[in-house]
A and B are shown apart, each in its own frame.
Chain A
């Protein structure tokens, strides 16, 4: 039985939604990881500061690590915001998403409901790279490639 184009469309739409949700989950995991690292290192600083003679040099290492991780979390959050912007433009609702599968990855092409001349931000690129996803915006469509 060959699927009618209507059922193919519905399938693609569902797969596209699932993949977008997966990317969103991965993104929030990345943000949480960075925040976690920052929190843990801040906690080291806090508890060691309460010692009678804290080793300040050592504390600096932990403080810097915490700061680096919180910067990373901030950048990832910006990337996540940009991701949301792109998703808002993508008309996933009208069933026009196309899903193509190749060895090791799945590509989702979603037409944009309004033209977007903005490029995706470096932060989103970084976030995407973290998650094993590439995101391309070519004026009228957005293309996600998700590594398995």
Chain B
């Protein structure tokens, strides 16, 4: 292994020579500088894990070096050596970012302290160095495992995954539905040494209690009526790999107790079994619940929470990572176009406008589904707003997308839009539409007819459903009955 580099900055030659010998004996690669300026020059040119700087030095004293290091962003850990009379400045040095200080005279006791201090300072330096490398490596990164995103928030997530993946620490992933919690769990698995082992995902909310218990722990032959065979549970099957427990807060509390025990002892017992089976697994759990609430309402046991959340990863909702929406939308467009054998290359300007302004409560999953649907619906080589805006949102009304009328819009056009939107929001009820907008049924039908004949329909409700059909309510309403359902 390469020797760690240390710089001694002190103007007292005898001290420097002694310290150099002592630290070289400890196995470090030691350099020396006899004044502060020289020390700073050396630090700028070369990388030192630790610099041992005397507080009082000609040209540039220890404090001034600290300030310069901070200002220039030179990475190193600084240990300040000070005389007793200057403890105040030592405290100031700590405030300026020194790793620690040590008081003169450096007798046997102090030197032992110094010898113990240096490896710790080096460890800190190395960890930070690794972080610096990692964040520069992640700079501009758009993908990580199956995750997509280049926003600051996602980069932070990648960084945590990268740091935590190699350990066996339990991880709890927090985030709204559709943010990609399982993808994080998979990335955690694939970046770890367990990669070759199984990845076993289980949704704790989807299964009734007895079945969930059976799925997790398995059972012995004859454990209950009808159990004619023995069955290994998820814990056994994920041995050597990772088990992903989604919606863990929905797990019934008595199973939580068993899970806690399994986590603590790393052994499980099948239902109806006596044998303790030891398992080597890494647990990654996830929940979309408000944790504080789940804990205070005792839906998630606190002791289990602490076991699961050795590391917590928060996945931001899509609306908080606006910079990623475009990236994701384009990626889904490419993916679904080729899957569906279509040659769609882009979104129209109006489509982008809507995609970027919508708040995506269903997060990435909703965006993915919207793009997939749009790809199927699209007729041209571009995805239009009408292809991507879900039907229930196109209809204004209770869905809350207001009707925008820009200055310069004619009364006739406004009237058309109003009728159409209202018509859509009523689920295609022309009579109710007439009542709401204050027109006669005849007038409403006339408006609808003009639009369905391809006359001046600009955006919103352009369902293009059978344009040739008569403007009767039945025909126009055909695509609508599902409008309210979501």
Chain A residues in contact with chain B, CB under 8 A?
A: 25, 28-29, 32-33, 35-41, 43-44, 46-48, 62, 65-66, 68-69
Most chain A beta-carbon contacts within 10 A, residue among B14, B19, B84: B14
The answer to whether A28 and B106 touch across the interface, beta carbons within 8 angstroms, is: no
Q: When the two chains form the complex, which single residue of A25, A40, A46, A66 contacts B19, counting CB atoms closer than 8 Å?
A: A40
Q: Which residue of B lies closest to A44 (CB)?
A: B21
- Complex A-B: 17 CB contacts under 8 Å: A25-B85, A29-B83, A32-B84, A32-B105, A37-B18, A40-B15, A40-B19, A40-B106, A41-B17, A41-B18, A43-B22, A44-B22, A47-B25, A48-B21, A65-B18, A68-B14, A69-B14
8 Å CB interface, B104-123 against A: 104-108, 111
Interfacial chain A residues near B107, Cβ < 8 Å: 39, 43
Q: When the two chains form the complex, which single residue of B14, B25, B84 contacts A65, counting CB atoms closer than 8 Å?
A: B14
Assess whether B181 is interfacial by the CB under 8 Å rule: no
With A36-B105, A65-B14 given, name 20 new contacts (CB 8 A). Answer: A28-B85, A32-B83, A32-B104, A32-B105, A33-B12, A35-B105, A36-B12, A36-B15, A36-B106, A37-B18, A38-B14, A39-B107, A40-B15, A40-B18, A40-B19, A40-B22, A40-B106, A44-B21, A62-B17, A62-B18
Assess whether B56 is interfacial by the CB under 8 Å rule: yes
The answer to whether A43 and B108 touch across the interface, beta carbons within 8 angstroms, is: yes
Chain A binding surface, main DSSP class: helix
Interfacial chain B residues near A65, Cβ < 8 Å: 14, 17-18
Smallest beta-carbon distance A131→chain B, Å: 12
Cα distance A35–B14 when bound, in Å? 10
Q: When the two chains form the complex, which single residue of A25, A28, A37, A62 contacts B12, counting CB atoms closer than 8 Å?
A: A37
Instruction: List 4 tightest A-B contacts by C-beta distance, closest first.
Output: A40-B18, A37-B14, A36-B105, A41-B18
Interfacial chain B residues near A39, Cβ < 8 Å: 105-108
Interfacial chain B residues near A47, Cβ < 8 Å: 22, 25
Interfacial chain A residues near B111, Cβ < 8 Å: 40, 43
Q: Mark B80-101, 1 if CB is under 8 A from A, else 0.
A: 0001110000000000000000
Cα distance A44–B20 when bound, in Å? 9
Q: Which residue of B lies closest to A25 (CB)?
A: B85
Cα distance A65–B104 when bound, in Å? 18
Cα distance A37–B18 when bound, in Å? 7
Interfacial chain B residues near A41, Cβ < 8 Å: 14, 17-18
The answer to whether B22 and A29 touch across the interface, beta carbons within 8 angstroms, is: no
The answer to whether A44 and B105 touch across the interface, beta carbons within 8 angstroms, is: no
Smallest beta-carbon distance B135→chain A, Å: 39
Chain B residues in contact with chain A, CB under 8 A?
A: 12, 14-15, 17-19, 21-22, 25, 56, 83-85, 104-108, 111
Interfacial chain A residues near B19, Cβ < 8 Å: 40
Interfacial chain A residues near B83, Cβ < 8 Å: 29, 32-33
Smallest beta-carbon distance B56→chain A, Å: 7
Most chain B beta-carbon contacts within 10 A, residue among A28, A29, A36, A47: A36
Cα distance A47–B26 when bound, in Å? 11
Q: Which residue of B lies closest to A72 (CB)?
A: B14
Smallest beta-carbon distance A11→chain B, Å: 26
Cα distance A55–B19 when bound, in Å? 18
Q: Which residue of B lies closest to A35 (CB)?
A: B105
Cα distance A121–B335 when bound, in Å? 91
Interfacial chain A residues near B14, Cβ < 8 Å: 37-38, 40-41, 65, 68-69
Q: When the two chains form the complex, which single residue of A35, A36, A37, A62 contacts B21, counting CB atoms closer than 8 Å?
A: A62
Cα distance A40–B14 when bound, in Å? 8
Smallest beta-carbon distance B87→chain A, Å: 13
Q: Which residue of A lies closest to B107 (CB)?
A: A39
Cα distance A88–B84 when bound, in Å? 25
The answer to whether A46 and B108 touch across the interface, beta carbons within 8 angstroms, is: yes
Interfacial chain B residues near A68, Cβ < 8 Å: 14
Cα distance A25–B84 when bound, in Å? 11
Q: Which residue of B lies closest to A40 (CB)?
A: B18
Interfacial chain A residues near B21, Cβ < 8 Å: 44, 48, 62
Interfacial chain B residues near A37, Cβ < 8 Å: 12, 14-15, 18
Cα distance A102–B259 when bound, in Å? 81
Interfacial chain A residues near B106, Cβ < 8 Å: 36, 39-40, 43
The answer to whether A29 and B85 touch across the interface, beta carbons within 8 angstroms, is: yes
Q: With A25-B85, A29-B83, A65-B14 in contact, is A36–B22 under 8 Å at CB?
A: no
Cα distance A66–B17 when bound, in Å? 11
Cα distance A34–B22 when bound, in Å? 18
Smallest beta-carbon distance A36→chain B, Å: 4
Smallest beta-carbon distance A68→chain B, Å: 7
Cα distance A33–B83 when bound, in Å? 8
Q: Which residue of A lies closest to B21 (CB)?
A: A44
Cα distance A32–B18 when bound, in Å? 15
Cα distance A59–B21 when bound, in Å? 11
Cα distance A41–B108 when bound, in Å? 10
Cα distance A38–B21 when bound, in Å? 14
Smallest beta-carbon distance A115→chain B, Å: 34
Cα distance A122–B84 when bound, in Å? 27
Cα distance A62–B16 when bound, in Å? 12
Interfacial chain A residues near B12, Cβ < 8 Å: 33, 36-37
Q: Which residue of B lies closest to A61 (CB)?
A: B17
Cα distance A48–B18 when bound, in Å? 12
Interfacial chain A residues near B108, Cβ < 8 Å: 39, 43, 46
Smallest beta-carbon distance B113→chain A, Å: 12
Q: Which residue of A lies closest to B105 (CB)?
A: A36
Smallest beta-carbon distance B108→chain A, Å: 6
Interfacial chain A residues near B105, Cβ < 8 Å: 32, 35-36, 39
Cα distance A129–B345 when bound, in Å? 83
Smallest beta-carbon distance A43→chain B, Å: 5
Smallest beta-carbon distance B54→chain A, Å: 9
